[in-house]
Amino acid sequence: MEVLYFLESIRTPFFDAFFSAVTFFGGEAAFLIFGMILYWCVDKNRGFYVMTVGFIGTMINQVLKLIFMIPRPWVIDKEFTIVESARAEAIGYSFPSGHTQNAVGTYGGIARFTKKTWLRVLSIILALLISFSRLYLGVHTPLDVGVSLAIGIALVFALYPLFELAKKKPFVMNYIFGGFVLLSVLFCLYVAFWNFPEDIDQNNLMDAKKVAASFLGASLAALVCNPIENRYIQFETAATIPGQIVKILVGAALVFGIKTGLGELFKLFGGGAEPLWLRCIRYFIIVAISVLAYPLLFRYFSKIGAKKQSNTTA
């Protein structure tokens, strides 16, 4: 706690706002956005790589939270205070840090595959800043952040050769997603049937069940839809800059709209709470639309700007 008390003593309104903004880039929304950008606009293989690192890291993170059940720093030490803007997302157990896990998975993955030095440096700096933000805001301890850093880095380097092999031999991707489905099933069984202690945080356990249902739906969709896309759609990630911008904006609005809209609709079936089996279906639909349906429009987006340029030239 000495490190956290030191950071608490040097807090200023400026850095409170700065690190509150930085920590956003380690959240679920930023992870999904960057994953979509990579998959739709850069390289499909790289997009799947970064998202798989993040998904598997999140599963490990949730399992460790339920095993060790370590409370947040301000729960352990009643005299310690946090930056209040960070409290809303700082729910459940503290160890290890989920934001750090997402940051290393996303930006560490980008740093691993990019050949551009400036992008690699920027990605590493951003991952470290997000990790530090969790300490500055007071929502995690150095142990929480350090373990997540180690797990994230290990996954970044361990999974990279597998996806490099999949670039040369596309059928390998089916085995990757098959393994992901298996891990998701095991995770579902763990959170559903394990004999947890009676004093376990029920909210944290429910969050883990939601993650398990989400990942099962997403992994099944990837396993089913990726071969179909490879055979029948084969969309191109390349497009004009205006086309890429439109692709991202429309796609993000579509994905988050479906994610939120179906979530609210499915809550009606559960009397205010979305049933886990419907959550699984919701994430299957989200991935299926992202991989199959939405890419059908990319041929039109790739022409945005190019046609105007040719008319101007003429």
C-alpha 199/C-alpha 213 separation (Å) is 23
- The Cα–Cα gap between 197 and 148 comes to 24
CB 279 within 8 A of CB 313: no
CA dist., res. 192 & res. 184, Å (int)? 12
> How much is the pLDDT for 88?
82
- The CA angle 249-304-295, to the nearest 5 degrees, is 55
Whether the upstream peptide bond of residue 96 has omega within 30° of 0, thus cis, is yes
Q: Which 3 state secondary structure label does DSSP give 169?
A: coil
> Whole-angstrom Cα distance, residue 232 to residue 226?
10
14: tokens are 């400026």
* pLDDT score recorded for residue 29: 86
The DSSP element (H or E) to which 217 belongs, if any, is: helix 202-228
Identify the CA nearest to 50 among candidates 12, 105, 3: 105
* pLDDT in the model for residue 314: 38
- Please give the full DSSP string across 255-288, using - where no structure is assigned: HHHHHHHHHHHHHHHTTTS--HHHHHHHHHHHHH
Cβ(82)–Cβ(125) below 8 Å: no
Give the pLDDT score at 269.
87
Instruction: Report the amino acid identity of residue 96.
Output: P
Residue 307: its pLDDT value, please? 52
Distance CA 15, CA 202 (A): 33
> Which residue, among 3, 11, 29, 12, has the nearest Cα to 260 in the 3D structure?
29
d(CA 159, CA 230): 21
| Inter-residue contact 200 to 66 (CB < 8 Å) | yes
Are the C-beta atoms of residues 291 and 221 closer than 8 Å to each other?
yes
For residue 240, the one-letter residue type is: T
pLDDT, tens digit only, all 314 positions of the chain: 889 999 999 999 999 999 999 999 998 888 889 999 999 999 999 999 999 999 999 999 999 999 999 999 998 898 899 998 888 888 889 999 999 998 998 999 999 999 999 999 999 999 999 999 999 999 999 999 999 999 999 999 999 999 999 999 999 999 999 999 999 999 999 999 999 999 999 989 999 999 999 999 999 999 999 999 999 999 999 989 999 999 999 999 999 999 999 999 999 988 889 999 999 999 999 999 999 999 999 988 888 877 554 444 43
289 by Cβ neighbours in 10 Å (0-12 / 13-18 / 19+) ranks as: middle
Kindly report the pTM of this predicted structure: 0.90
Cα 289 to Cα 248: distance, rounded to the nearest angstrom = 14
Compute the half-sphere exposure of residue 159: CA atoms within 13 Å on the CB side of its CA. Answer: 32
